[in-house]
């Protein structure tokens, strides 16, 4: 549900005077909830930030097929999504260290600024590669923002309120999930897809004006103001660069589909493997109990679901002849069920059953992904996709929020940034790798042929190209059911 490089805003932020020491975030203000007097301003502000990200994701996803067609880049369709995740990997590590070192305020400001700049770059692009570059800049900003928000939650909210604020984050996707596709589809059809991208940055003003004062008051500065400020871990920064570069090379190799692509593919794997081992908790690759399995499960859930979801609008537009608006609206109900799943996990009585909740959630995700390509059969009604995705989003709401809660529960305050970065790296890297694999399968089976035809033609590409994306992702999600059994330490 779901990073940008330090720009001039980062330099300005570094030059700003440090914020005054904030009150200890560990203090529990009795019975106050997330909208009680103590946390109301902060909660509204950071929920506004999530609302912006949610609106961008739902609106841009609806406009993406039309943008790819106009820029003659449907064969690079997966790149438009994976470029975001590739660059966010580096920004997540940077944001985690930056937030642990001097607080989450500066990486948050820098991230929102870069996020808006990336939207403007994509919206004014004249070629597909420039469009993809804009998405990469967005990814840098998104990575900074998401990790900084986790640090805010860790510092400013007592443990009993964290499930509730995570549920509120999920709930903030409901309105964008309904309004975003409709608004984006209408704008795309009547004004053009570019207005979807260049119009969203206007929404940056509200989150900045609402969130930053509250964050400065409650979560600014290092976790321990009396301790010396730690230096940036240059080794982890180098590993972050390696993982981003390696992911980009793997994505390129997956799209090229030639013998020459073996070289960048091998180079990408050589960069990623040691970087992953250095950045993720030891034992993540073998699903060791506790924190490693929490981090791994996040990647399995997010990667399989997002890789599949990225192809849903394209499948509905090209195979069933839906308009971009209707294709986007087919996923709209998912926002409500995602919020419902997150709400369910936030109930205090669910805490003893969190492992079972995770297992059930992953089973729902696997079933929904497997059911979606049934609409490739002509007599299957299109609304089946909407129902399937509503079920999958219910599972994702429970799984994503629960992994976030478990991670913060297992993290000391001074390590919240680093551990949150590990969680988001698992999320982002799995998105890149599975999008690369899905994009390669899609292109190999003729998916790129849609670029040579009208976008609404139902004969534009082979149905098998879409099935080759969805069915393997369903198998990955099913493996997540087993990983969910190992999130608790024994």
220-243: pLDDT as tens digits: 666 555 556 666 778 888 888 898
* CB 131 within 8 Å of CB 65: no
* DSSP labels, 205-259: HHHHHHHHHHHHHHT-S-S-TTSPPPPP-HHHHHHHHHHHHHHHHHHHHHHH-SG
pLDDT at residue 17, rounded to an integer: 35
Cα–Cα distance for residue pair 354/366, rounded to 1 Å: 18
242-252 burial code (b ≥16 CB/10 A, e <16):
bbbbbbbbbbb
pLDDT at residue 400, rounded to an integer: 92
* Best CA proximity match to 247, nearest among 6, 476, 5, 436: 436
* CB 140 within 8 Å of CB 88: yes
pLDDT at residue 22, rounded to an integer: 38
Cα–Cα distance for residue pair 51/57, rounded to 1 Å: 10
What are the CA-CA distances from residue 61 to residues 98, 243, 262, 447 (Å)? 30, 25, 30, 18
pLDDT at residue 472, rounded to an integer: 94
**pLDDT range class, residue 254, cuts 50, 70, 90:** low
Cα–Cα distance for residue pair 60/222, rounded to 1 Å: 35
Kindly tell me if the per-residue pLDDT of 173 is higher than 80.
no
**pLDDT range class, residue 255, cuts 50, 70, 90:** low
Q: Is 224 left (phi over 0), alpha (psi -120 to 50) or beta?
A: beta
pLDDT at residue 484, rounded to an integer: 95
DSSP 8-state code for residue 3: -
- Range with lowest mean pLDDT among 72-76, 129-133, 314-318: 72-76
What are the CA-CA distances from residue 98 to residues 2, 139, 159, 187, 416 (Å)? 20, 17, 23, 38, 11
Cα–Cα distance for residue pair 55/335, rounded to 1 Å: 11
Higher pLDDT, 45 or 204: 45
Kindly tell me if the per-residue pLDDT of 457 is higher than 60.
no
Crossing angle of helices 174-190 and 333-346, rounded to 10°? 160
Q: What is the mean pLDDT of residues 213-219?
A: 75
Cα–Cα distance for residue pair 465/444, rounded to 1 Å: 8
* CB 177 within 8 Å of CB 114: no
**pLDDT range class, residue 26, cuts 50, 70, 90:** very low
Kindly tell me if the per-residue pLDDT of 416 is higher than 50.
yes
- Range with lowest mean pLDDT among 213-227, 280-294, 334-348: 213-227
Kindly tell me if the per-residue pLDDT of 213 is higher than 60.
yes
Kindly tell me if the per-residue pLDDT of 341 is higher than 70.
yes
* CB 336 within 8 Å of CB 170: no
Of 228-232, 250-254, 429-433, give the range with the top mean pLDDT: 429-433
Higher pLDDT, 211 or 480: 480
pLDDT at residue 367, rounded to an integer: 97
**pLDDT range class, residue 24, cuts 50, 70, 90:** very low
Kindly tell me if the per-residue pLDDT of 307 is higher than 80.
yes
pLDDT at residue 227, rounded to an integer: 59
Kindly tell me if the per-residue pLDDT of 304 is higher than 90.
yes
Kindly tell me if the per-residue pLDDT of 269 is higher than 60.
yes
Please classify residue 379 by burial: count the beta carbons closer than 10 Å to its beta carbon, then call 0-12 exposed, 13-18 middle and 19+ buried. exposed
Q: Is 290 left (phi over 0), alpha (psi -120 to 50) or beta?
A: left
Q: In the chain, pLDDT over 70 holds for what percent of residues?
A: 83
Q: What is the largest CA-CA distance in the chain?
A: 67
pTM of the entire predicted model = 0.71
**pLDDT range class, residue 444, cuts 50, 70, 90:** confident
**pLDDT range class, residue 250, cuts 50, 70, 90:** confident
What are the CA-CA distances from residue 164 to residues 52, 150, 157, 360 (Å)? 19, 13, 10, 20
Query: What's the gap between Cα 135 and its chain centre?
Result: 13
Kindly tell me if the per-residue pLDDT of 305 is higher than 90.
yes
Q: What is the mean pLDDT of residues 175-194?
A: 76
Average pLDDT, the chain: 80
Kindly tell me if the per-residue pLDDT of 385 is higher than 80.
yes
Tokens of 382: 């299109």
Higher pLDDT, 216 or 31: 216
pLDDT at residue 482, rounded to an integer: 96
Reported as type and span, the H/E element at residue 302 is helix 291-309
Rg of the chain (C-alpha set): 21
pLDDT at residue 490, rounded to an integer: 63
Kindly tell me if the per-residue pLDDT of 143 is higher than 80.
yes
pLDDT at residue 66, rounded to an integer: 83
Crossing angle of helices 128-156 and 416-444, rounded to 10°? 150
Higher pLDDT, 165 or 79: 165
pLDDT at residue 395, rounded to an integer: 95
């Amino acid at each position: 549900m779901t990073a940008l490089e330090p720009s001039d805003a980062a330099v300005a932020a570094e030059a700003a005077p440090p914020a005054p020491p904030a009150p200890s975030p560990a203090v529990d203000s009795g019975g106050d909830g997330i909208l009680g007097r103590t946390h109301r301003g902060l909660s509204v502000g950071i929920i506004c930030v999530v609302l912006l990200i949610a609106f961008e994701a739902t609106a841009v996803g609806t406009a993406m097929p039309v943008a790819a067609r106009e820029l003659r880049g449907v064969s690079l369709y997966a790149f438009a999504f994976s470029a975001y995740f590739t660059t966010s990997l580096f920004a997540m590590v940077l944001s985690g260290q930056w937030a642990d070192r001097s607080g989450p305020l500066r990486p948050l400001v820098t991230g929102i600024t870069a996020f808006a700049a990336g939207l403007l770059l994509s919206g004014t692009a004249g070629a597909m590669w420039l469009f993809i570059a804009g998405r990469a800049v967005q990814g840098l900003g998104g990575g900074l923002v998401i990790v900084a928000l986790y640090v805010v939650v860790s510092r400013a909210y007592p443990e009993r309120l964290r499930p509730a604020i995570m549920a509120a984050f999920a709930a903030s996707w409901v309105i964008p999930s309904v309004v975003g596709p409709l608004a984006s589809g209408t704008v795309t059809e009547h004004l053009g897809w570019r207005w979807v991208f260049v119009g969203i940055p206007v929404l940056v003003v509200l989150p900045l004006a609402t969130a930053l004062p509250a964050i400065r008051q409650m979560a600014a500065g290092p976790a321990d103001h009396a301790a010396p400020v730690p230096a940036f871990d240059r080794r982890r920064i180098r590993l972050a660069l390696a993982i981003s570069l390696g992911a980009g090379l793997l994505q390129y190799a997956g799209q090229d589909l030639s013998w020459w692509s073996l070289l960048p593919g091998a180079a990408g794997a050589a960069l990623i493997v040691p970087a992953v081992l250095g950045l993720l908790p030891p034992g993540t690759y073998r699903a060791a109990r506790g924190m490693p399995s929490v981090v791994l499960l996040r990647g399995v859930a997010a990667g399989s679901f997002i890789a599949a979801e990225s192809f849903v609008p394209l499948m509905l537009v090209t195979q069933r002849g839906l308009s971009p608006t209707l294709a986007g609206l087919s996923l709209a109900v998912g926002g409500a069920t995602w919020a419902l799943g997150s709400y369910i996990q936030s109930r205090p009585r669910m805490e003893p059953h969190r492992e079972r909740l995770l297992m059930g959630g992953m089973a729902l995700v696997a079933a929904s992904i497997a059911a979606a390509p049934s609409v490739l059969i002509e007599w299957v009604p299109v609304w089946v996709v909407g129902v399937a995705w509503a079920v999958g989003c219910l599972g994702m709401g429970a799984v994503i929020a629960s992994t976030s809660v478990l991670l913060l529960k297992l993290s000391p305050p001074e390590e919240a940034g680093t551990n949150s970065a590990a969680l988001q790296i698992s999320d982002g890297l799995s998105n890149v790798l599975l999008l690369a694999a899905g994009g390669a399968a899609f292109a190999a089976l003729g998916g790129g042929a849609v670029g040579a035809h009208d976008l609404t033609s139902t004969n534009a590409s082979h149905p098998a190209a879409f099935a080759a994306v969805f069915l393997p992702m369903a198998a990955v999600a099913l493996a997540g059911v087993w990983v969910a059994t190992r999130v608790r330490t024994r």
